[in-house]
C-alpha cells in the first residue's frame, strides 16, 4: 500500500491530464417537420353562386298629355305586347285643339299669300320708280314674316296632333303589367307619375357576385373575366330554389365596373331565356359555373402558404432533406388550398407544420401530414 501522501502525488497529475482533455459537444438534434406532398388538379374548379333575378327591362308607364282617363283596357297582372293600348284619355279637348291649330295654319297661309302678292306688286312699281326702295323692303319683310308665321302654325298643328295621339297610351315593351295606380275618371298628366309598370319576363337577367380573388385569378389564367365566362371556356347552368334544374342555359352579358367595397365582389350579369315565365324578377337561383379547361395545376395547402415583403412563398424539403424557400404565384382558391400558377410542381413536399423551427438550408427530418410513412422528396 502506498502512503496517503504518495497516492495524492500520483492522482493529481492524472486529474490534471483528464481536465485538460477537450470536451466533445453532443451534436444538435435535427428538427422534424410535417410535410404535404403537392397534388395536381384540373385548374377548372366548379363554383356555385347565388344568383339574383332581375328584369332586363322594367318600364313605368306615364301619361304624356293631360286629360281624364276614359277607358282602361287591361287586367292587372296580365301579359301585354308592345304597342297594346293600355289607357285612353278623353280626346275631345285635343280634337278641338287640333281644329284650332289647323284654322291658325289656314290663316297664316292666307296672310302669306297676300304678302307675296303685295310684294310682287310693289316690286313692279319699284322697277318703274313709282315707289321708294323703302316700300319694297317693307313688303319683303312682311312676306318673310308671313312665311315664318306659316312655319310656326305648322309646328303648332304638329304639337296638337301629337298631344291627340298621346291620348292613347300604349305598352312600350312586352311583359307582365302590374297594378294600375289610376282608374277611369282620374285626371292625369305628365306630373302624375307612373300609371302602372310593365316588367319584361323573357329573357331575364341573373346577377351573381364574384369575389375579388376569382376576378384576379380569371384575369391571370384566361386573360379577363369576360373570356373566363365565355361559352368556350365555361359551362353555366341554373338550379331553382327547390333544387330542380332549369333547362335553359344562361349566357354571359356584362360585368360591373367596380368592386363593392362592403362585400369585395364584382357583379357579373347573365341572361337566360324564360319562355314559360318560371323565373320572376326578385327571385333567386343557384348558378353552377364549371370551367371547360383540362389543364392540371399544383394545389398548395393553405397551411404551407407564407408571405413576406416580396410576396407569397413556401418552404419545401428537397431530395437532400434540406429546406428550400420557393416563391409562388397563386391562382384561384379551391376547397383544399390554392392553385399555383408558378413555382411548384406535383410531387414536391412543402412544410405545413414546424415552420417556426426551420430556415432555408437546414437539414430536417420529415413526417407526412397524412400519416403515411415519409418518402424522399422529388428531385427537381
Q: Cell digits for 308?
A: 413576406
**What's the pLDDT tens digit per position in 285-310?**
999 987 766 567 888 898 899 998 88
Domains and CATH numbers, the chain: 32-42+296-368 (2.40.420.20), 47-56+200-291 (2.40.30.170), 65-89+167-199 (2.40.50.100), 91-165 (1.10.287)
Tally Cβ neighbours within 10 Å of residue 370.
10
CA 224/CA 216 separation, integer angstroms: 8
**34 by DSSP, 3-state: which?**
strand
CA 268/CA 226 separation, integer angstroms: 9
User: Comparing 93 with 128, which gets the higher pLDDT?
Assistant: 93
pTM score over 0.85: no
Backbone angles phi, psi at 212, to 5 degrees: -60, -35
pLDDT at 16: 47
**159 by DSSP, 3-state: which?**
helix
pLDDT at 149: 95
Q: Which residues pair with 207 in a beta bridge?
A: 52, 269
Q: How far is CA 140 from CA 105, 106, 111, 217, in A?
A: 21, 21, 13, 76
pLDDT at 96: 96
Instruction: List, in sequence order, every beta strand (DSSP E) within 161-233.
Output: 168-170, 175-177, 187-188, 196-199, 204-211
pLDDT at 191: 95
Mean pLDDT, the chain, whole residue set: 85
Average pLDDT over residues 108-122: 92
Q: How far is CA 75 from CA 72, 168, 224, in A?
A: 8, 17, 47
**What's the pLDDT tens digit per position in 63-84?**
999 999 999 999 999 999 999 9
Average pLDDT over residues 210-220: 75
pLDDT at 50: 94
CA 69/CA 185 separation, integer angstroms: 5
pLDDT at 275: 93
Q: Which range (56-60, 85-89, 184-188, 346-350) has the least confidence? A: 346-350
User: Is the pLDDT reported for residue 204 higher than 80?
Assistant: yes
Q: Which residues pair with 211 in a beta bridge?
A: 265
Contacts of 229 (CB under 8 A, 6+ apart): 236, 252, 268, 270, 289
Q: Cell digits for 267?
A: 357583379
User: Is the pLDDT reported for residue 236 higher than 90?
Assistant: no
Half-sphere exposure of residue 58, counting CA atoms within 13 Å on the CB side? 11
pLDDT at 130: 79
Q: How confident is the model at residue 223 (pLDDT cuts 50, 70, 90)?
A: low
Nearest Cα residue to 290 out of 360, 221, 234: 234
User: Is the pLDDT reported for residue 10 higher than 70?
Assistant: no
Average pLDDT over residues 313-337: 86
Q: Cell digits for 169?
A: 297610351
Q: How far is CA 356 from CA 34, 232, 315, in A?
A: 12, 45, 11
User: Is the pLDDT reported for residue 154 higher than 70?
Assistant: yes
**What's the pLDDT tens digit per position in 254-291?**
888 888 889 889 899 999 999 999 999 999 999 998 77
CA 294/CA 239 separation, integer angstroms: 24
pLDDT at 124: 86
Tally Cβ neighbours within 10 Å of residue 228.
24
Q: Among residues of the chain, what percentage have pLDDT more than 70? A: 85
Mean pLDDT: which of 180-194, 214-228, 349-363 is highest? 180-194
**278 by DSSP, 3-state: which?**
coil
CA 373/CA 355 separation, integer angstroms: 20
User: Comparing 356 with 217, which gets the higher pLDDT?
Assistant: 356
**172 by DSSP, 3-state: which?**
coil
User: Is the pLDDT reported for residue 27 higher than 60?
Assistant: no
Q: How far is CA 193 from CA 55, 65, 187, in A?
A: 21, 12, 12
Nearest Cα residue to 197 out of 270, 269, 253, 281: 281
Nearest Cα residue to 169 out of 131, 137, 196: 196
User: Is the pLDDT reported for residue 374 higher than 60?
Assistant: no
Contacts of 331 (CB under 8 A, 6+ apart): 43, 217, 220, 221, 297, 338, 339, 340, 341
**First-to-last C-alpha distance (Å) of the chain:** 72
Tally Cβ neighbours within 10 Å of residue 351.
24
CA 150/CA 147 separation, integer angstroms: 5
DSSP string, 339-361: EEEES--TT-EEEEE-GGG--TT
Q: How confident is the model at residue 47 (pLDDT cuts 50, 70, 90)?
A: confident
Nearest Cα residue to 118 out of 204, 110, 290: 110
Half-sphere exposure of residue 253, counting CA atoms within 13 Å on the CB side? 18
Amino acid at each position: 500500500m502506498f502512503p496517503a501522501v504518495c497516492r495524492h502525488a500520483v492522482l493529481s497529475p492524472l486529474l490534471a491530464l483528464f481536465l485538460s482533455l477537450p470536451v466533445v459537444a453532443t451534436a444538435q438534434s435535427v428538427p422534424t417537420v410535417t410535410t404535404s406532398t403537392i397534388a395536381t388538379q384540373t385548374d377548372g374548379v366548379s363554383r356555385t353562386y347565388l344568383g339574383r333575378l332581375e328584369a332586363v327591362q322594367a318600364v313605368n308607364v306615364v301619361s304624356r298629355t293631360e286629360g281624364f282617363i276614359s277607358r282602361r283596357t287591361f287586367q292587372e297582372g296580365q301579359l301585354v305586347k308592345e304597342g297594346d293600348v293600355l289607357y285612353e284619355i278623353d280626346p275631345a279637348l285635343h280634337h278641338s285643339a287640333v281644329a284650332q291649330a289647323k284654322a291658325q295654319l289656314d290663316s297664316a297661309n292666307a296672310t302669306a299669300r297676300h304678302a307675296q302678292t303685295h310684294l310682287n306688286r310693289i316690286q313692279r312699281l319699284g322697277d318703274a320708280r313709282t315707289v321708294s326702295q323703302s316700300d319694297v323692303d317693307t313688303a319683303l319683310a312682311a312676306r318673310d314674316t308671313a312665311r315664318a308665321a306659316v312655319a310656326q302654325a305648322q309646328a303648332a298643328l304638329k304639337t296638337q296632333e301629337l298631344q291627340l295621339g298621346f291620348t292613347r297610351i300604349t305598352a312600350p315593351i312586352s311583359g307582365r303589367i302590374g297594378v294600375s295606380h289610376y282608374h277611369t275618371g282620374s285626371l292625369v298628366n305628365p306630373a302624375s307619375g307612373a300609371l302602372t309598370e310593365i316588367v319584361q319576363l323573357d329573357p331575364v337577367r341573373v346577377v351573381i357576385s364574384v369575389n375579388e380573388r376569382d376576378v384576379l385569378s380569371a384575369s391571370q389564367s384566361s386573360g379577363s373575366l369576360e373570356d373566363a365566362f365565355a361559352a368556350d371556356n365555361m359551362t353555366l347552368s341554373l338550379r331553382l330554389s327547390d333544387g330542380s334544374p332549369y333547362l335553359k342555359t344562361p349566357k354571359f352579358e356584362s360585368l360591373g365596373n367596380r368592386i363593392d367595397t362592403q362585400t369585395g365582389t364584382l357583379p357579373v350579369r347573365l341572361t337566360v331565356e324564360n319562355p314559360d315565365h318560371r323565373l320572376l324578377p326578385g327571385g333567386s337561383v343557384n348558378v353552377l359555373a364549371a370551367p371547360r379547361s383540362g389543364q392540371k395545376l399544383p394545389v398548395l395547402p393553405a397551411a404551407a402558404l407564407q408571405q413576406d415583403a416580396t410576396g407569397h412563398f413556401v418552404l419545401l424539403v428537397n431530395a437532400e432533406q434540406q429546406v428550400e424557400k420557393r416563391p409562388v404565384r397563386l391562382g384561384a382558391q379551391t376547397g383544399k388550398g390554392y392553385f399555383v400558377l408558378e413555382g411548384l410542381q406535383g410531387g414536391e413536399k412543402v412544410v405545413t407544420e414546424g415552420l417556426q423551427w426551420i430556415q432555408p438550408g437546414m437539414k430536417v427530418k420529415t413526417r407526412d401530414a397524412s400519416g403515411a410513412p415519409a418518402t424522399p422528396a422529388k428531385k427537381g
